Amino acid sequence: MENIVYLCILFQESIMIKTIIAGPCSVESREQLRQVTAALAAMPRVTLIRAGVWKPRTRPGGFEGLGEPALQWMQELAQEYGVQYCCEVAKPKHVELCQRHGITTVWIGARTTGNPFMVEELCSAFAGSEMQVLVKNPTSPDVSLWLGAIERVLQAGVKGVSAVHRGFAMYHNRGYRNEPLWEVPMTLRRELPEVPLLCDPSHIGGRRELVAPLVRTAVQFDYDGLMVEVHHAPESALTDAAQQLTPAAFADLLSQLSTSDSQHSTFNSHKLDSLRSQIDEIDHELLSLLARRMEMSRQISFIKHDLQMPVYQSGRWSDVVADRLQQATALGLDADFTRALLEKIHGESIRVQLADKA
């Protein structure tokens, strides 16, 4: 992970987060919405206020949102504070109610994105409207499901479509509420480069102390925007109390984000070009070496066949791994990275040797 972030710093042309969406997980009362709106309206970089009105609860019995009365307050407060709100929709009826209350940006939640039938139904409700739609990733790390939902919304004629990375539910997690698995949104971006990509560090982290470090990582992955949960009294929030930031903590976080494209000095631009061409050269050498290594494996497979030895030699392989790990440590390379790389190479070597047997 650290390695990936470091590489991204190196390849970064400029660092700037453009769209900033912030607000409470849920609307809990008119006064709660007013307080957080007043605080966020005073932050010029906040482009949109998020506030859930229908809450998809994993298990029954929790606070499920206030529905239409909350939309009414949003409409009034939008006028009073000159702000715009967005909220989650899961049914065509939600879309219709949002439109009726002047809410023109909505998001499709993680649990809905994973269900093509529900996405289709929402798309029929979006068709012909000027709505902006944010599509959160599905709960599983299935990039096709996420892509498919975005493609459906685009096909419905929606012009303003963005993707929101909110992390992935795992049976084992390593300290996050939802694992970030940064490679998944990066794959999505490669497939749909024109769709802005936002990061929701609140639902990834699940704890407020993880939000700032996740935002710093998102900046290095060149996200176009953020969606952050902010509540004036997070500890007493009815949903997601552990992950919401106070407006003061959020303002502090915003102040750490740069506001304009950074300028490279000429010296650093030259240095960057030179380092990149050295990396290009090293990659070409690595590939030539790998091709040579596979050729050795191919020749070895004929000898093994002749000597009636099985292709897979576990003793030899353990020796190779131990030797290479020792060398990697001396060179300052990460042991897990080295082990994973060796496994990949060995897997390919076995495949090559077996192919000659087939």
Q: Which residues bind ligand PEP (CB under 6 A)?
A: 25, 52, 56, 109-110, 136, 166, 203
Backbone angles phi and psi of 174, in degrees to 5: -105, 55
Least distance in angstroms from the C-beta of 13 to ligand PEP: 30
Instruction: Compute the distance between CA of residue 103 and CA of residue 177 in angstroms, rounded to an integer.
Output: 29
Nearest Cα residue to 123 out of 86, 85, 155, 87:
155
Q: Which stretch binds Mn ion (CB under 5 A): 2-10, 19-27, 118-126, 288-296?
A: 19-27
If one asks whether residue 108 binds Mn ion (CB under 5 A), the answer comes out as no
Q: Which of 161, 240, 251, 254 binds Mn ion (CB under 5 A)?
A: 240
Looking at beta carbons only, is 52 or 247 nearer to ligand PEP? 52
Least distance in angstroms from the C-beta of 28 to ligand PEP: 13
Looking at beta carbons only, is 90 or 352 nearer to ligand PEP? 90
Least distance in angstroms from the C-beta of 203 to Mn ion: 6
If one asks whether residue 88 binds Mn ion (CB under 5 A), the answer comes out as no
Residue type, 164: V
Looking at beta carbons only, is 73 or 146 nearer to ligand PEP? 146
Look-up: residue for tokens 């004629």?
157
What H or E segment, with its residue span, contains residue 50? strand 48-50
- Could you say which of ligand PEP, Mn ion, none residue 109 binds, taking C-beta under 5 to 8 angstroms by partner kind? ligand PEP
Q: Which residue has its beta carbon closest to ligand PEP?
A: 109
Q: What residue spans of the chain are helical by DSSP H?
A: 2-11, 30-41, 68-81, 92-100, 110-113, 116-126, 143-155, 183-191, 201-205, 208-220, 247-255, 266-306, 314-331, 335-357
Looking at beta carbons only, is 26 or 353 nearer to Mn ion? 26
Q: Which stretch binds Mn ion (CB under 5 A): 17-25, 215-223, 294-302, 335-343?
A: 17-25
Instruction: Compute the distance between CA of residue 91 and CA of residue 121 in angstroms, rounded to an integer.
Output: 7
User: How do 105-108 and 160-165 pair as beta strands?
Assistant: unpaired
Least distance in angstroms from the C-beta of 40 to Mn ion: 16
If one asks whether residue 22 binds Mn ion (CB under 5 A), the answer comes out as no
201 contacts 250 by C-beta, under 8 angstroms: no
Backbone angles phi and psi of 13, in degrees to 5: -85, -45
Looking at beta carbons only, is 109 or 247 nearer to ligand PEP? 109
| Cα→Cα distances 46→17, 109, 228, 258, 344, Å | 11, 21, 10, 14, 45
Instruction: Compute the distance between CA of residue 294 and CA of residue 255 in angstroms, rounded to an integer.
Output: 52
Looking at beta carbons only, is 56 or 347 nearer to Mn ion? 56
Looking at beta carbons only, is 60 or 315 nearer to ligand PEP? 60
Q: Which of 21, 25, 163, 253 binds Mn ion (CB under 5 A)?
A: 25
- Contacting positions for Mn ion (CB under 5 A): 25, 240
